[in-house]
Amino acid sequence: MQLSAEGLELIKKSEGFRDRVYRDIAGFPTIGYGHLLKPHESFPNGLTEPEAGAILATDVRQAELAVDRLVEVALTQGQFDALVDFCFNLGTGRLAGSTLLRDLNAGRHDAAAEQLLSWDHAAGVVNSGLRARREAEFHLWTGGNLSTLPVAGSMAPPSMVKKQAAKL
């Protein structure tokens, strides 16, 4: 499977484009559409949007291959897109060791979808940007498209709302 245009748009929208190196929320040097710099990479003059698009295509391909390798069940396009975005954002290792993947590979697609929503913390605190991204992934997973995405914060399924309320 390959990431759909809608999945790619989610990554681009979530990451934004930056032509210069910056530190992401975790403090890692990043450029373009969320590309984590590798030790041998340097962009002293920044990069153009087309250059960032080419790097993004390579990074997306790596996330696609990871999803293909890790997932043992059939996926819809929306589920695949959500998982590729998840891997792109958090890394393959996070998916590989997750309850999300265990639930999915056990055929518990609904439980896996809800697991997406729990990955919204940075430094132990809920991050509104990550929350919106996870909700967009959940929306794709459950068959929605991004053009019909409700207002942020309103996507959580009833069982997740109960869990969140119990934490308060």
CA nearest 49: which of 29, 35, 33, 34? 33
* Count of helix runs (H) and strand runs (E) in the chain: 8, 5
Q: Rounded to 10 degrees, what is the CA torsion of 91, 13, 65, 131?
A: 40
Q: Report, as residue numbers or ranges, the catalytic residues.
A: 15
What is the C-alpha separation between 68 and 85, in angstroms, rounded?
13
- The answer to whether 79 touches 99, Cβ cutoff 8 Å, is no
Rounded CA separation 156/113 (Å) = 10
Q: Strand ranges (DSSP E) for the chain?
A: 18-23, 29-32, 35-36, 121-122, 125-126
